[in-house]
């Protein structure tokens, strides 16, 4: 039994934009003072995190001079090395500047699309300088309000061309990035292109170098679409495409809440942690969430500690689930296996003929109870801490 205190071996990461969130929302001004990047690095290291991720402009203002940029990056690198934190993932801010109001790679304006490529190449240079190996594309502004604009098909083509270009750029520079597409159904656009994990996986197959591309699913984003996040993650794992993950929480059908991990849907969080741990996923565990607007700085660190603590508790619960004799017996009952039928279900003409002739007791199959109410209550008891 541990005391659930994280260490870098747990691979927990936060974005500069997450713990650095000042509490601004569409209706209200910030409720907290900004925190400097070196200070965030120091605090995350104290809390036991492994790394910190960033957009280009989380660190370097969009209008910084070359000398200003170099000074900021040098200070940040010093903080990383002083506190032993790494930067596993980098990304581009292609959503804040008014230039991107109608998209970046999918803007109908060729000038905006070219500027987005330029900004992303520079941001990839920065990420590589900081040691990042994963590069995320969250296309927050890649979408529409007015479909009469007629860009639905061309937008996908522009998006594809841009991703192909940037993959070639990465390879030509020897950066060795793996790219992770992060889907979201809406917000800030009314409709965002590639809205779900499934859409992104389908799109990756159309790129020139699909092996370099995977997904960065986010709990809140699939939940906003009314989908089950663990199902989306399982599909990404099955495809060998879980390159990164954004952990947080969310009530269904609302704005992007980015709540503390496990704060809303504890059972969904458990299912997810168990899936990740059982699958052997060994990438970073990134919390893309922020403290509530009600909080001061102390609340920010309570939020960060809470994300990591909840993950570690659920990881321990997953271990207990796998070791619990009653739960394992219920699982064995549910997963009725049959070696002969498994062999028969491998296609050969003979097996196909034998299977067609076989007699099944359909009524008995329909009568068989699966024991899932019992299994689910055992799971609840485990999560409640009464087992």
Residue 246 annotated as binding? Answer: yes
Interface with ligand GLT (CB under 6 A), residue total 10
Q: Is 58 a catalytic residue?
A: yes
Of all residues in the shown chain, the one whose CB is closest to ligand GLT is 138
Q: Would you give the binding string for ligand GLT spanning residues 171-200, x where CB under 6 A is met?
A: -----------x------------------
Say what angle helices 152-173 and 197-204 make with each other, to 10 degrees: 70
Q: Which residues contact 191 (CB under 8 A, 6 or more apart)?
A: 143, 144, 145, 147, 185
Nearer to Mn ion, 113 or 184 (CB): 184
Say what angle helices 325-334 and 297-323 make with each other, to 10 degrees: 70
- For residue 220, give the nearest of 194, 193, 185 by alpha carbon: 185
Site residues (CB under 6 A) for ligand GLT, limited to 9-28: 17
Say what angle helices 266-279 and 229-238 make with each other, to 10 degrees: 10
Residue 182 annotated as binding? Answer: yes
d(CA 244, CA 179): 9
Nearer to Mn ion, 159 or 229 (CB): 229
d(CA 28, CA 34): 15
Among 138, 177, 193, 229, binds ligand GLT (CB under 6 A): 138
Closest contact distance (angstroms) between CB of 288 and ligand GLT is 5
Q: Is 55 a catalytic residue?
A: yes
Under the criterion CB under 6 A, does residue 142 sit at the interface with ligand GLT? no
Under the criterion CB under 6 A, does residue 249 sit at the interface with ligand GLT? no
Joined together, the tokens standing for residue 147 give 């479909």
Residue 208 annotated as binding? Answer: no
Among 271, 288, 307, 317, binds ligand GLT (CB under 6 A): 288
d(CA 14, CA 90): 11
Determine the interface stretch with Mn ion among 30-38, 262-270, 284-292, 357-365 (rule: CB under 5 A): 284-292
Say what angle helices 66-83 and 37-47 make with each other, to 10 degrees: 20
Please pick, among 3, 10, 58, 278, the residue that the annotation labels catalytic.
58
Among 58, 102, 246, 264, binds ligand GLT (CB under 6 A): 246
Among 183, 258, 287, 378, binds Mn ion (CB under 5 A): 258
Joined together, the tokens standing for residue 322 give 């796998």
HSE, side-chain direction, 13 A CA sphere, residue 204: 26
Under the criterion CB under 6 A, does residue 222 sit at the interface with ligand GLT? no
Three-state SS sequence of 95-115: CCCHHHCCCCCCCCCHHHHHH
Site residues (CB under 5 A) for Mn ion, limited to 219-248: 220, 246
Active site residues: 55, 58
Binding-site ranges for ligand GLT (CB under 6 A): 17, 55, 91, 136, 138, 182, 218, 246, 256, 288
């Amino acid at each position: 039994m541990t005391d659930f205190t994280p260490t870098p071996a747990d691979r927990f990461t936060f974005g500069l934009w997450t713990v650095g969130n000042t509490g601004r929302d569409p209706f209200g001004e910030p409720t907290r003072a900004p925190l400097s990047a070196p200070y965030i690095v120091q605090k995350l290291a104290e809390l036991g995190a492994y790394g910190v991720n960033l957009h280009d402009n989380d660190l370097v203002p969009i209008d910084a001079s070359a000398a200003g940029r170099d000074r900021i990056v040098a200070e940040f690198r010093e903080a990383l090395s002083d506190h032993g934190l790494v930067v596993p993932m980098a990304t581009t801010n292609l959503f804040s500047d008014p230039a991107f109001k109608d998209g970046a790679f999918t803007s109908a304006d060729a000038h905006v699309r070219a500027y987005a490529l330029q900004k992303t190449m520079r941001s990839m240079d920065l990420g590589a300088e900081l040691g990042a190996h994963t590069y995320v594309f969250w296309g927050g502004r890649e979408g529409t309000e007015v479909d009469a604009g007629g860009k639905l098909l061309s937008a996908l083509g522009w998006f594809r061309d841009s991703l192909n270009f940037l993959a070639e750029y990465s390879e030509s520079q020897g950066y060795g990035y793996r790219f992770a597409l992060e889907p979201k159904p809406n917000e800030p656009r009314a409709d965002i292109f590639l809205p779900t994990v499934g859409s992104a996986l389908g799109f990756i197959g159309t790129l020139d170098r699909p092996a370099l591309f995977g997904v960065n699913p986010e709990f809140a984003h699939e939940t906003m679409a009314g989908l089950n996040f663990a199902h989306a993650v399982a599909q990404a794992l099955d495809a060998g495409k879980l390159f990164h993950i954004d952990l947080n929480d969310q009530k269904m059908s609302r704005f992007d809440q980015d709540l503390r991990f496990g704060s809303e849907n504890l059972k969904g969080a458990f299912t997810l942690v168990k899936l990740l741990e059982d699958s052997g996923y060994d990438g970073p565990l990134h919390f893309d969430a922020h403290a509530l607007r009600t909080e001061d700085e102390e609340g920010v660190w309570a939020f960060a500690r809470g994300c990591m603590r909840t993950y570690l508790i659920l990881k321990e619960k997953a271990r207990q689930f796998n070791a619990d004799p009653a739960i394992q017996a219920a699982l064995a009952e549910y997963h009725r296996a049959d070696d002969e039928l498994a062999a028969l279900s491998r296609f050969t003409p003979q097996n196909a003929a034998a299977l067609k002739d076989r007699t099944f007791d359909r009524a008995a199959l329909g009568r068989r109870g699966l024991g899932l109410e019992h299994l689910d209550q055992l799971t609840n008891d485990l999560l409640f801490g009464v087992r």
